[in-house]
Each structure stands twice: as C-alpha cells, then as structure tokens.
Amino acid sequence: MKPELEEILPQVSKPTRYLGTEWNAIKKDHRQVDVSFALAFPDVYEVGMSHLGSKILYHIINKRPDAVAERVYAPWPDMEARLREASLPLFGLETGTPLAEFDMVGFSLQYELTYTNVLNMLALGKIPLRQEERGPGDPFVIAGGPCAFNPEPLADFLDLVVLGEGEEVIGELLTVLKEWKQEGGQDREAFLRRAAAIPGIYVPSFYRVHYAGDGTIAAVEPTRPEAAPRVEKRVVADLDAADFPSAPVVPFMDIVHDRAMLELFRGCARGCRFCQAGMIYRPVRERSLKTLLAQAEALQRSTGYPEMSLTSLSSTDYSRIRELIRRLQEAYGDLKVSLPSLRVDSFSVNLAREVEGLRKASITLAPEAGSQRLRDVINKNVTDRDIEEAVAVAVAGGWTAFKLYFMIGLPTEEEEDLLGIARIAEQVASTPDPAGGRGVRRVTVSVSNFVPKPHTPFQWEPQVEEGELVRRQQVIRRALKNRRIILNTHDTRASFLEAVFARGDRRLGKILLAAHRLGCRFDGWTEHFDYGKWEEAFTACGIDPAFYALRRRPFTEPLPWDHLSPGVAKDFLSREYQRALRGEPTVDCSLVSCSQCGVCPTLELPIRLRGGDRDDPETVGQID
Amino acid sequence: MTQKLWARLIKGPEVRFISHLDLVGTVEKALRRARVPLAFSQGFNPQPRIAFAAALPVGMTSSGEYVEFTLREPWPPEFFLKQVNGQLPPGLALAAVREVPEKYPALMAVVNLARYQIGLELPAGRGSEDFSRAWEGFLQQEEVTVSRQTRKGLRRFNLIPYIYHYRLQEDSSDSIAITLELRLTPQGSVRPGEVMEAFRAYTGWEGRVFFLHREGLYIVRDDGIHSPLTVKF
C-alpha cells in the first residue's frame, strides 16, 4: 500500500473499501500484460461489489494472460476529500495504478442518477472529461449496462458503448485494442473505427444528430462506414457454455448483497410493460441444472459464503427450481439458500417457505399496482386472488413482517388504483394466522414513482408531474389506518431527474457537466442529493427538463435511442402500448405462445429452457 | 462429540483496518472454504461457533488474538492449522492451535489481560527521563476519566483501575517504547489509544503515537500470567 494511503485510511469511514486485498482479488504486474482495463462502477464499493456483471467481466478479463482488470468504485465523499487534499488520483484497487494509466476505463451504467459519479470519477482520475479532449496516452472511456441502451446524455464523455451482454464482446474489444497498441497506439479514431465494426459496439462520436425546429430529433446519421445505422445488442446464446466467475472477490465488509450468487437464467418473458430489464434482456435463456450445481460447488469452495442467492429476474420461474433447491440443500446442509425475487403467488411463497426454514425475517412481494385493472394495463399478471393466497400462505408459514412494493404514476392511474394500494396493505395487515399466532406484525409499503424507460411499451408516455405525484402519495397516506403499516415514498424530484436522463438526448451532456462542476455526485443518495444545483444547471444551460420527462411523444417522433436495438421490435412496443391502454394482458411466451416481440428472429436465437422439463405440474404448488 | 480448539491469530498491517465484526466474518468464510466441520449454535438463527476472546480496536495490528472454535467432529489440530492457513487472506494467519477439554471454560470468560506495544515520539528537547516523570505523574492520579462515544450514548469511566502494569524503554534518542498491560473485565476495558490520549491531554505531551500493537492476551491468576495456549484448568 502506498504510504500516502496508509495516512489517509485511518481518517475515513469503512477503510476496507479501498484495500484491494480481499480474498480472490487478482493482482497482476501491468508491465507483464498488453492491455489494462479498469472496471469502474459509479457508486460506492458496497453497491458495486454486489453487481454480478462486474464480477463476470473481472473474471473473464483476468483469465487472459495478456490482460489485467482492476476494480474502481466511487470514493465516498470523505475519501474523495482526502484524495483531493493529498492530490492523489483515483486508482485501481488491486495495484493502486492511477486511473489515467489504464488503457481502458469501463463504467457499468445501472442507474441514471449515477451519471455525475461517472464524471466525478474521471475528474478524480485526472482523465479529460469530454471524449474529444482526450489524446494519445489517455484511456478509452467506455460504458455498458442497462442504461447503455440510451447512453445519449453521456455521449460527450464516452468513447464507445457496449450494448448487451459483455462476455464475448469484451474479448473481441480487448484483442482489437491490443493490436492497435502494438501498431503504435496513437490514432484514436483508427481504433474507434475498428471497434465500431464489432457487432454490439456503438461509437457515439460517429453519429450526427439532426434536430427539428421544435427541438425534437429529426434524424441520426452515421458518419463513418463502420458505424451501423442501427446497432444490435450482443447476447450470449448458450449460458451453459459461457464463462462464469467461479472465484469472485470476497469483501471484508458487509456489502449490499453479501452472498454467493448463482445466476439461473437471463431474460424474463413475463412482459411487464414498465420493466426495461424484461425487454432488453430477452430472450429467456436458462442454465441447465447440471451447470448450476457445478457452479454452486465452485462458489462454495472458492468463497465460503454461508448464503447463496438464486438470482435472475424472476427466479421462481426457473423450470426446475424445486429440484435445484432440493439438490442444493442436500449437498450443503448449513448453506442458506435465498430467493431474491418472489412472484406474488402461492407457489413462490411456498418455495420461499422451504428455503427459509425457521429463519424468517420479512417477505417481500411486489404487486406493483393497487387494482386488477391497472395490473392488466402494466401486464403484471397477478390477480387479487394470487395476492390473497400468497399472503395467506406466508402468514401460515410463520412470516410476521411484509414488504410490499408498488408504483404510482403509472399510465391510466386513477384514484381507485391508489386506494387499492391502501386496501391491499390493510388486508395484509389484518390477515389472521390460522394457527392462532399473533399474525402480521408489520407491513412496510414502499411506493416508488413510475419512470418511463426507453425500449419499453411506455417509452412514449409522459411522467406524471411532481406536484401530482406528491398528491397521490398523500392519497395513499391518508387512506392507511392501521398503525402497523409503514409507508415509504420516494423523492419525486429524484424520480423526475431519473426520467429526464432515462429518455434524454445528447444535449443533456452540458447539464451533466454543469451539475458536476456545481458539485453534484451520489445523486441517488438522499443525503447527497441537492436538487437546487440541478435547477441551477438547467437554468444556466437554457434547457427545459420537462421537455424530456413530461412530454407525450408521438409514435412518429424519432426517439434518441432508435438507432440502438435490444432486438425487441419497435412495433411490438407500440402494439403493447395500445394493448395496455385497452387493459389487455399479453401472455408469457415461455409458457404459452409467442407474442411476436421480434427478439428471436432478430438475434437468430430461440428461447432456451435448459433446466429441462418443468417440475411435474402435479406437484407444483404443493409443499411436499 | 464436539471438539474445542483454541488458536492464536495474527492480524498484520495488511488487514489492520478490518473491523472486529468483519474479521469474524472473514475467519468464518475461511473456515468454510477449508471445509472445517464447524458446530452451530441452537435456535432460530444458528450461527457457527467461533468466539473471539476480545475485540481488537480497528487500525491496530496484533500478534496475539485468541479464538475458540467448536467443531462438530474432531480434526487433528495440526491439520486444522494447515487447512485454515491455506484459506486466510494476506495478513491473517493462525500461529498455533491447541485442543482443550470440553469442560474448559469459554476462552472469553477467562482471558483478562491484554499487553500492548506502543511507540511514542519524544519531542525536541525532551528526554526519556522527562517522559518517565510525566508518565508516572499521570498514573499516580486517583481518577482519569475517559469519555467514549458508544451507540448507546456517551460512556464515562475511570481508566486507572484498568492499568495492570507497564514498562518503559528508550527506543532511540527520539522515541520511547511502552509495554502496557491493561485489564479486560466483564464490565469492559480501556483501549491503549484512550490511555495515550488521556496522557497527552493531562500532560500536554506533544510527541505522536506512531506505533500501536497488541502483543497478546493473557490469563492472570494468583499463580502468575498464563498464555491461553498453555494454561491449565
């Protein structure tokens, strides 16, 4: 460790964030490799370390003998202050190499309110912020993750963007980078042109955006032959063959998801219309039971975690979920198995009951909307009866604390839907325990504000304006009578900014720069979020944020992300939008019939239910 | 048949910033990777039976932390040592382990003394005799109050009864080495950093504490001071 760092660490909170010596951390001599990559996560260590995608890339890059990957997270403000005082640049955790000395710095974009952290990390790393200011010797700054499907607000700052799953494309990119470096590595444009020829790679500076008189986009025009008019995402066809992190870094400190992660499948075909993940990660691809058991064994041996989480967008949908849980419990007696995302039905709750055993903290269910009508609009295929049964099974199973997740501001929402949220919460709170126990002790109702996202059926919808959202929060608050119900609402101004940047275009780059200069960072953290500074930035730049968040966009208007494709057809999204307004649900294509979203033919890839035959339907839903 | 093991753990400079709670988790994961057949506590939320004798303040290194492990089936102690050391991150190592009879008391119930090595600067113009005089004057007081911010609020206590023994040694012309033995009691203990802070506040001493290390934990009885790895009950 550098002596300057030795001096600083005793003065900051949670110093083990910055050690880089955790179990399974990989330290390589940069002089012995051809390319170096900083895996940058624009949030604090305990959030970034919980992200599976970063673990996968760390493993894949470091497996190459010619490459090194190190981790870097946004330093917490106390650490940032110390780094600035000591004039220490932000560094890769493993070797302390300054960020500016890496060949490539790759950010994972999970959330719009981390964008100022991207800029702040570049600034702390002494890397020129705007891509056009970078020259020979500067790193290439790249990004991936869900927000990369509309990276336009960050276009000024990014050299290139990776669309979709990174396992395969990262290797192709590093190989091109290595060749370019070996040829002298001076002409950045030459590298970017070669990179742009790789499927799934988007180079924002190779596209010119034309605007119409009313401020909307007229056209997006590629300016180099390598730049495709429409960049398709990358997707891993066979997850059984894909590399997975068999020995992830084990942090010293307690992180957000402090457990081993077993990824059962990617994609989700439930088709919730608000859900961006459900659209951009299609199609559904499962790992086989055999692969999962082998991976579980490797994780147990390499990490020693006492808990393993079965992750994916809707884990209880895995074809052989019961069999998997049974086999894990047999093989590892004292391992806690956990299910992160429970569907609201008795089958899922029964599964949770099996894995949780006697240790029951609270159970989380997400009905999302308060009425059957609105749940049909958003295609959350959960009925009132599903909710009632799920809760009854949970109470009978011994849970006394519930967390319920809802959204407000959904398209077509009315007073009745808001009262429905309160009604469901009240019902849960008063569910009797058939065994005569004390029943439900606490119901925590978390109400978030709906943010329309790109590449979803609601991408044309305006966000409900702030004052109205606050009023709707109050409607629910007033309707709640039971004192065992706790209502948590979200900051409407933060949701508004999220909506602005989610569907923003390149002109918002100035705003990000202005907000960064005003000192904005960690905007997703209530204690650091300062909306006044954002207002100042919008005013100074003469940009109206409402244009992005609150305007209903016509189907005919070119959207800032139309040249970026997750494989789902735009006309499927508009069809889904119209069905939503008519309150018509659409079925799960992995269970019933194809809904013609276009992803399989576009990516030439069928859905794969590799788990094999589903668990016997006769026994599904039964406890034993 | 369960097996009870007492081990000495070294916490080196690489891991000195790990908090006590995180250290417990780190050791537990290392044992699981080593496939040690840990015994678990009873109850709704069974926990592995790993008990540290006394928490070490964050930021301090130690050559003598003691841990009691309970295994659900016996392992030869040397094998245990080798397997676990293969799974501990840099800076952590088990130096020695001993199997103790089941009927022995819990380690944390018998350890009652901690020995620290402290390095203190002598400011310009002051010699070791100046320090000895100041130090002895400081400890001759009947009461020296320490205020500690805890989660339950401010705790105030007298540190004098916790001082068991000390030895001073001139380290070089500009520093002094203090060996300080502090009592660990069921009611609590004082940290060496708190003693040094109180000393500096009382005497206005300007030299900086540049080294702070826990040498070991011991059991003081009428028959002398014992190491947990050799004591008999």
Domain spans in chain A, listed from the N-terminal domain onward: 3-230
Q: What pLDDT does residue A593 have?
A: 84
The pLDDT tens digits of the residues spanning A516-550 come to 999 999 999 999 999 999 999 999 999 999 999 99
Chain B nearest-CA distance from A468, in A, is 40
Q: Which long-range contacts (CB under 8 A, 24 or more apart) does B78-83 make?
A: B80/B5, B80/B36, B81/B7, B83/B34, B83/B35, B83/B36
Q: How many CA atoms lie within 13 A of A24 on its CB side?
A: 24
Interface contact A22-B89, CB threshold 8 A: yes
Range ranked top by mean pLDDT from A244-253, A347-356, A603-612: A244-253
Q: What pLDDT does residue A353 have?
A: 85
Confidence class for position A148, pLDDT limits 50, 70, 90? very high
Distance CA A207, CA A602 (A): 23
The pLDDT tens digits of the residues spanning B159-201 come to 999 999 999 998 777 899 999 999 999 989 999 999 999 999 9
Chain A nearest-CA distance from B32, in A, is 5
Could you tell me which of A301, A316, A306, A304 has the C-alpha nearest to residue A336? A306
Q: What pLDDT does residue B1 have?
A: 80
Q: What pLDDT does residue A381 have?
A: 87
A254 CB near a chain B CB, below 8 Å?
A: yes
Q: Which of B14, B26, B45 sits opposite A359 (nearest CB)?
A: B45
Six-digit token pair at A165?
Answer: 């799953």
A448 CB near a chain B CB, below 8 Å?
A: no
For residue A22, the chain B residues in CB contact (below 8 A) are: 89
Interface contact A302-B17, CB threshold 8 A: no
- For A120-135, what is the mean pLDDT? 98
Q: Which of residues 319-348 of A touch B (CB under 8 A)?
A: 334
Interface contact B22-A16, CB threshold 8 A: yes
- For A493-505, what is the mean pLDDT? 98
Q: H/E element holding B3? A: strand B3-11
Which distant-in-sequence residues (6+ apart) come within 8 Å of A115 by Cβ? A42, A109, A153, A154, A501, A512, A523
Q: H/E element holding B213? A: strand B209-221
B19 CB near a chain A CB, below 8 Å?
A: yes
The pLDDT tens digits of the residues spanning B106-136 come to 999 999 999 999 999 998 888 889 999 999 9
Q: What pLDDT does residue B172 have?
A: 78
Interface contact A304-B19, CB threshold 8 A: no
The alpha-helical segments, DSSP class H, found in A457-549 are 466-479, 492-502, 509-517, 531-541, 546-549
In chain A, whose CA is at the least distance from the CA of B91? A21
- For A193-206, what is the mean pLDDT? 98
Exposed/middle/buried for residue A562 (C-beta within 10 Å: 0-12, 13-18, 19+): middle
Q: What pLDDT does residue A205 have?
A: 98
B188 CB near a chain A CB, below 8 Å?
A: no
The angle subtended at Cα B126 by Cα B121 and Cα B131, nearest 5°, is: 70
Mean pLDDT score of chain A, rounded to an integer?
Answer: 94
Q: Do residues A536 and A423 lie in contact, with contact meaning Cβ atoms separated by under 8 Å?
A: no
Total Cβ atoms within 10 A of residue A85: 10
Q: What pLDDT does residue A436 have?
A: 80
ipTM of the complex as predicted? 0.89
How far, in Å, are A180, A274, A281 from residue A149 at the CA level?
27, 15, 11
Task: Break chain B into its structural domains and give their ranges.
Answer: 3-110, 113-226
Confidence class for position A471, pLDDT limits 50, 70, 90? very high
pLDDT at A357 exceeding the cut of 80: no
Confidence class for position A362, pLDDT limits 50, 70, 90? confident
In chain B, whose CA is at the least distance from the CA of A300? B33
Residue type (1 letter), A343: R
Confidence class for position A24, pLDDT limits 50, 70, 90? very high
Q: What pLDDT does residue A422 have?
A: 97
In chain A, whose CA is at the least distance from the CA of B18? A16
Specify the fold of B113-226.
Answer: Alpha-Beta Plaits (3.30.70)
Q: What pLDDT does residue A340 have?
A: 84
Six-digit token pair at B72?
Answer: 């659900």
Beta bridge partners of A327: none
Q: What are residue A298's phi and psi, to 5 degrees?
A: -60, -40
Residue type (1 letter), A167: E
Q: What pLDDT does residue A620 have?
A: 41
For residue B87, the chain A residues in CB contact (below 8 A) are: 304
Of the ranges A277-281, A464-468, B44-48, B191-195, which one carries the lowest mean pLDDT score?
B44-48
Cis status of the peptide bond prior to A283, with omega within 30 of 0: yes
- Chains A and B form CB pairs within 8 A to the count of 61
Distance CA B165, CA B179 (A): 8
How far, in Å, are A291, A403, A463, A505, B190 from residue A397 at the CA level?
31, 16, 39, 49, 47
pLDDT at A95 exceeding the cut of 70: yes
The pLDDT tens digits of the residues spanning A259-286 come to 999 999 999 989 999 999 999 999 999 9
pLDDT at A13 exceeding the cut of 80: yes
Q: What pLDDT does residue B43 have?
A: 80
Confidence class for position A614, pLDDT limits 50, 70, 90? low
Q: What pLDDT does residue A611 have?
A: 65
Superfamily of domain A3-230: Cobalamin-binding domain (3.40.50.280)
Between residues A356 and B222, the one the model is more confident about: B222
A21 CB near a chain B CB, below 8 Å?
A: yes
pLDDT at A622 exceeding the cut of 60: no
Interface contact B22-A21, CB threshold 8 A: no
- For A510-517, what is the mean pLDDT? 98
Chain A nearest-CA distance from B35, in A, is 8
Q: What pLDDT does residue A610 have?
A: 65
Specify the fold of B3-110.
Answer: Alpha-Beta Plaits (3.30.70)
Q: How big is chain A, counted in residues?
A: 624
The three-state secondary structure class of B95 is strand
For residue B17, the chain A residues in CB contact (below 8 A) are: 9-10, 15-16, 19
DSSP assignment string, A333-354: TTPEEE-S---SSHHHHHHHHH
- For A128-132, what is the mean pLDDT? 98
Residue with tokens 């390589």: A28
Q: How big is chain B, counted in residues?
A: 233
Q: Do residues A226 and A176 lie in contact, with contact meaning Cβ atoms separated by under 8 Å?
A: no
pLDDT at A618 exceeding the cut of 50: no
pLDDT at B95 exceeding the cut of 80: yes
B3-110 and B113-226 share one fold? yes
Interface contact A304-B90, CB threshold 8 A: no
Exposed/middle/buried for residue B6 (C-beta within 10 Å: 0-12, 13-18, 19+): buried
Q: Which of A2, A17, A246, A252 to mutate to test the interface with B (most CBs of B within 10 A)?
A: A252
Q: Which of A23, A253, A304 sits opposite B22 (nearest CB)?
A: A253
Q: Which of B15, B17, B35, B38 to mutate to test the interface with A (most CBs of A within 10 A)?
A: B17
Interface contact A16-B17, CB threshold 8 A: yes
Interface contact B29-A19, CB threshold 8 A: no
Confidence class for position B17, pLDDT limits 50, 70, 90? very high
Which distant-in-sequence residues (6+ apart) come within 8 Å of A550 by Cβ? A462, A463, A465
Distance CA A505, CA A512 (A): 12
Exposed/middle/buried for residue A120 (C-beta within 10 Å: 0-12, 13-18, 19+): buried
In chain A, whose CA is at the least distance from the CA of B88? A23
Q: Which of residues 26-45 of B touch A (CB under 8 A)?
A: 26, 28-34, 38, 40, 44-45
How far, in Å, are A143, A198, A505, A513, A567 from residue A209 at the CA level?
20, 22, 9, 20, 22
Which distant-in-sequence residues (6+ apart) come within 8 Å of A310 by Cβ? A262, A264, A318, A321, A324, A325, A337, A338, A339, A340
Q: What pLDDT does residue A589 have?
A: 85
Interface contact B14-A21, CB threshold 8 A: yes
Q: Which of B14, B17, B40 sits opposite A334 (nearest CB)?
A: B40
Confidence class for position A293, pLDDT limits 50, 70, 90? very high
DSSP assignment string, B12-47: -GGGTT--HHHHHHHHHHHHHHTT--B-B--SSS--
A358 CB near a chain B CB, below 8 Å?
A: yes
Exposed/middle/buried for residue B51 (C-beta within 10 Å: 0-12, 13-18, 19+): middle
Could you tell me which of A219, A198, A200 has the C-alpha nearest to residue A210? A219
Q: Which of A10, A15, A304 sits opposite B29 (nearest CB)?
A: A304
Q: Which of A10, A252, A306 sits opposite B26 (nearest CB)?
A: A252
For residue B59, the chain A residues in CB contact (below 8 A) are: 10
pLDDT at A609 exceeding the cut of 80: no
Distance CA A118, CA A610 (A): 38
pLDDT at A616 exceeding the cut of 60: no
In chain B, whose CA is at the least distance from the CA of A335? B32
The angle subtended at Cα B81 by Cα B80 and Cα B83, nearest 5°, is: 65
For residue A400, the chain B residues in CB contact (below 8 A) are: none
Between residues B45 and A563, the one the model is more confident about: A563
Q: Which of A16, A82, A399 to mutate to test the interface with B (most CBs of B within 10 A)?
A: A16
Q: What are residue A594's phi and psi, to 5 degrees?
A: -60, 135
